[in-house]
Chain A
Amino acid sequence: MQNHFQMEYSIAVSCRTHNLQKVRKFVENILNSLLISPMDSNLVLVAIDELCANLMLHSHYQTPSDLIEVKIREEEDGMFIFEVHDTAVEGFDPSIYEPSSIQDIIKNKSAGGMGLMLVKKIMDSIHFERKGQKNICRVCKTIKKPDIELS
């Protein structure tokens, strides 16, 4: 029998920002089914949403025929691995991006950089690789599950 540690969940959506809600619902349902608390789950939703929104807007310019794929799997030590795949010719590596301070972002009247700041603060690690025609952004987070008493 396959246990959920071997399971990988995935969704593919076209690069339109109205699909962000679909991605969030997908991630939320998976995390709920794995007993992650709504607070932890919401932060992960924000991080994945920010990565997808960046790609949709800045790498794919909301081209409906372009797809991004989000994959989720849980390792046995409570680490969750989330991957965002896309095929933009020039991939964007968020791991090397250094966001400005929040004060500078406010002063410049821009939300630019705030999203990646959230991703970096929420997730434990960010890794980017180009594999063939594909860009893969992998973000990881160890999430503690609530203790469940077995009767």
Chain B
Amino acid sequence: MKVNCTNEGKFHIIAIEGDLDASSSILLDTVLEEAIEQQKHYILIDCLGLNYISSPGIGVLTSRLDDCEKNNTTIVLFSVSEKVFNVFNILGLDQLLPIKKNKEDAKSFSDGI
């Protein structure tokens, strides 16, 4: 799995490529922790290249929700494939984690909070 971080104005974009599973989730956890520590308040996770996700990967995202709320940080996922969305859906997380169609929608959503 690869993770690539870029900034677009106030938005911090983390693009994930490959499989997010028990062996690779630590990498996303480190990147996300750094972003929150660096006071990035608008974190957008680009899932276009995310081929697969299992519970450790989902856990990385959900375990940061509390920190984000305390820091006034929003995490928004976008460009999630149908099969990855299906896994979020089974857990009922599609109602708890903002998931948007594309980057523009994710930015608009973050702006509106």
Which residues of A does B touch, CB under 8 Å?
16-18, 20-21, 24, 38-39, 42-43, 45-46, 49-50, 53, 56-57, 102, 105-107, 109-112, 114-115, 117-118, 121-122
Contact = CB atoms under 8 A, between A and B. Distances in A.
Contact of A115 (B54, B62, B82): B54
A42 B83 contact: yes
A114 B23 contact: no
A24 B87 contact: no
Given A49-B21, A117-B91, A24 B52 contact: yes
Q: How large is the interface on B (under 10, 10 to 19, 20 to 34, 35 or more residues)?
A: 20 to 34
B9 interface: no
A93 B90 CA distance: 22
Nearest to B1: A21
13 contacts: A20-B22, A39-B83, A42-B83, A43-B87, A49-B22, A57-B22, A102-B91, A102-B93, A109-B62, A114-B55, A114-B59, A118-B87, A121-B91
B22 A39 contact: no
Contacts of A21: 19, 21, 23
Chain B, interface SS category = helix
Contacts of B19: 21, 24
Contacts of A109: 62-63, 66
Nearest to B97: A106
A106 B60 CA distance: 10
Interface string B80-113: 0011001100111100100000000000000000
Contacts of A49: 21-22, 54
Interface string B29-64: 000000000000000000000001011101110110
Contacts of A117: 55, 91
B65 interface: yes
B35 to A, nearest CB: 17
Given A105-B62, A110-B59, A110-B63, A20 B21 contact: yes
Given A42-B52, A43-B87, A114-B59, 20 more contacts: A17-B21, A17-B23, A20-B21, A39-B82, A46-B87, A49-B22, A50-B55, A53-B22, A56-B22, A57-B22, A102-B93, A106-B96, A111-B59, A111-B63, A114-B58, A115-B56, A117-B91, A118-B54, A118-B55, A118-B91
